[in-house]
Amino acid sequence: MALALDRIRIGSAPDSWGVWFPDDPQQVPWERFLDEVAEAGYSWIELGPYGYLPTDPARLTDEVTKRNLKVSAGTIFCGLHRGPSEWDSTWEQVSRVAALTQAMDAKHLVVIPSFWRDDKTAEILEPPELTTEQWRNLTTGMERLGREVKDTYGLDIVVHPHADTHIDTEEHVEQFLDSTDSDAVNLCLDTGHYAYCGGDSVKLIETYGERIGYLHLKQVDPDILADVVRNEVPFGPAVARGVMCEPPAGVPELGPVLTAAQKLGVDLFAIVEQDMYPCEPDKPLPIAVRTRKFLRSCGA
């Protein structure tokens, strides 16, 4: 008998509708995203890129409430490995996003490290490996961020390992977790990004369970991924090739991931994200409906 996944709260995000930017002519209007995510059967959403959804809390509350939706998290990007000079610009971004996230009664701020390779052009912006000093900047900066976000906004930060960033592979993720305080910083485990970078999500959950604060559910197409890795394709063009695919066609298997998460015995959000930028406007809804049905078959 399958384990009842009663500790897992399933949601989706603008990302699954091809939304990567606050404003882009290739993206569906935000009203359509909200209509369709509700129609697909989800009750939780993330804010996506700040400025895509309305940023006035009263208006956004009205828009999500009338569709029976609730917000689970906001998202920021930061380059704290570069040292204290990054703090002010990071906090300026955090203050906008965290204030809206708090106003929507969400409890999490997803933090994505900055990219070392340009998402579109493949230009190498920084070395893919951090120096010892940069690792120290990254870990101490994230701990400071976690504490100040908690003190100021009452939110928990969850750091998101991501392809083409410095927190990506199993080695880098474990180094990050071993170097940071769980009272200040935990992880948003994105199953697709972790598989993209060669990691095993079930193993990570079973080994570092107390550090898993949030989940993104995503799969990669192993055949496309093999070509992406072989040819050193950057993440943006890899997504355009379809490297992130519709469950259950890819890896990792999401049933075992959800079961491992349930066994942690804590309430966790598991937000579906299928990176699809750019995509045809009629493509996301049918995928979202099928994915929600698939997750129900897993017990979620």
**What gap in Å lies between CA 293 and CA 291, rounded to an integer?**
5
Q: Tell which residue, 290, 110, 267, 76, has the closest CA to residue 189.
A: 110
Q: Which two tokens stand for residue 36?
A: 């369709």
**CA angle, 199 as apex, 198 and 200 as ends, to 5°?**
130
> Which helix H or strand E contains 263, and what residues bound it?
none
User: What pLDDT is stored for residue 118 in this prediction?
Assistant: 87
pLDDT of residue 1: 46
Which tokens in the block code for residue 244?
A: 């992130």
Structure tokens at 38: 């509700």
pLDDT tens series, the chain, 300 aa = 467 899 999 999 999 999 999 999 999 999 999 999 999 999 999 999 999 999 999 999 999 999 999 999 999 999 999 999 999 999 999 999 999 999 999 999 999 999 999 877 889 999 999 999 999 999 999 999 999 999 999 999 999 999 999 999 999 999 999 999 999 999 999 999 999 999 999 999 999 999 999 999 999 999 999 999 999 999 999 999 999 999 999 999 999 999 999 999 999 999 999 999 999 999 999 999 999 999 999 998
Domains recognised in the chain with CATH numbers:
8-298 (3.20.20.150)
Quote the pLDDT of residue 285. 98
Could you give the dihedral angle defined by the CA atoms of residues 220, 224, 230 and 231, in that order, rounded to the nearest 10 degrees? Answer: -110
Rg (CA), the chain: 18
> At CA 91, angle to CA 62 and CA 93, rounded to 5?
45
The CB-based long-range contact list for 118-122 (8 Å cut-off, 24+ gap) reads 118/234, 119/164, 119/234, 119/235, 119/236, 120/234, 120/236, 120/237, 121/234, 122/233, 122/234, 122/237
Q: Terminus-to-terminus CA distance in the chain, angstroms?
A: 14
70 in Cβ contact with 98 (< 8 Å): no
Is the bond leading into 252 cis (omega within 30 degrees of zero)?
yes
145 is written with which tokens? 């961020």
**Distance (Å, whole) CA 123 – CA 175:** 26
Q: Would you say the pTM of this structure is higher than 0.75?
A: yes
The pLDDT of residue 126 is 96
